[in-house]
Structure 1
Amino acid sequence: MHHARRLIVRSVPALMLAVSLSAMAHHGWSTYDDTKPITVTGKVVESHYENPHATIRVEADGKRWFAVLAPISRMESRGATAEKVAVGRQVTLVGYASKEKADEMRVERITLDGKTVELR
């Protein structure tokens, strides 16, 4: 009995630490200005199709935007596959600019090959 209780007591702090680190790693959406939607159309120059969120870098009008997309499972279920956000593809992004980073945006919807995909 004491052995089981000791395991629980030892595992609770470890669980709390894991949850805290996970929360810190995932940035909150409050860092984006959702009062001013922006639209960016350009070519994908970098693509990372991995969790927790897919990201792409898009070059548009001489500026490079770092775009935070959705989790991979949502992207795939809605037809926004890795191939469709690959380097060299043309995309239109609608979302919100970061309040902290001048070249970053959170994408709400993306248009790929003429099809608009809702990401949120």
Structure 2
Amino acid sequence: MSSMQTSLVQRVLGFVAGIAIALAMSLPAFAHHGWAWAEDGNSELSGVIVAAKLGNPHGELTLEADGAKWIVEVGQPWRNERAGLKDDMLTKGVKLTAIGHRHVDPKKRVFKAERIVIDGKTFDLYPDRD
């Protein structure tokens, strides 16, 4: 094999190794943004918003419920908008109920909302899920 061919092979292998490393590093983030970390059964969590970070890849509310702070994952901006849920409805002091799934680890106070109820109005973020 010529030195030019060896150099090309080394570059291709380096590129493939770089992609493999990037994919491996992204798996924890991918797993978090999916549903694998959440319990199968639906739960409800009611409380008051104490902080909100909205936007991509999804919004996160800090909800104070029963004296504990929970992270409630809401939808991506387009998903919230499609459900009729506007950013100004998810501000500090708003009382809401999240219907969805708790983290499988009971020590983690993380909740993925399928539906949000504010003042008796339901916002269905994931209408395709039961």
CA 1:71–1:23: 2 relative to 1, 3 Å = farther
Q: Deviations over 1:36-55 (max 9, x none)?
A: x2111111001000111111
Please, what TM-score do these two structures have when normalized by structure 2?
0.72
1:91–1:110 CA contact under 8 A, matched in 2: yes
State the identity as a percent. Answer: 29
Q: Secondary structure at the match of 1:31?
A: coil
Q: Secondary structure at the match of 1:106?
A: strand
CA 1:49–1:62: 2 relative to 1, 3 Å = same
CA 1:18–1:102: 2 relative to 1, 3 Å = closer
Q: Deviations over 1:39-90 (max 9, x none)?
A: 1111100100011111101111212111111111111122111111111111
Please, what TM-score do these two structures have when normalized by structure 1?
0.78
Q: Could you tell me which residue of structure 1 aligns to residue 85 of structure 2?
A: 80
Please state if 1:106 is matched with 2:112: yes
Q: State the alpha-carbon separation in 1 of the partners of residues 45 and 38 from structure 2.
A: 15
Please state if 1:119 is matched with 2:100: no
- Quick one: higher RCO (CA 8 Å, sep 6+), 1 or 2? 1
Which residue identity is paired with 2:29? Answer: A
Q: Secondary structure at the match of 1:29?
A: coil
Whichever structure has more strand as a proportion of its residues is 1
More deviation, 97-106/43-52: 97-106
In the TM superposition, 1:84-95 aligns within 5 A as 84-95=89-100
Selected match of 2:58 from 53, 61, 82: 53
Q: State the alpha-carbon separation in 2 of the partners of residues 19 and 73 from structure 1.
A: 26
Structure 2: runs of 5+ lacking an equivalent: 1-11
- 1:9, distance to aligned residue in structure 2 (A): 8.9
- 1:19, distance to aligned residue in structure 2 (A): 5.3
Q: State the alpha-carbon separation in 2 of the partners of residues 12 and 118 from structure 1.
A: 41
Tell me the number of residue pairs that the alignment of Structure 1 and Structure 2 aligns.
119
CA RMSD between the two structures: 2.5
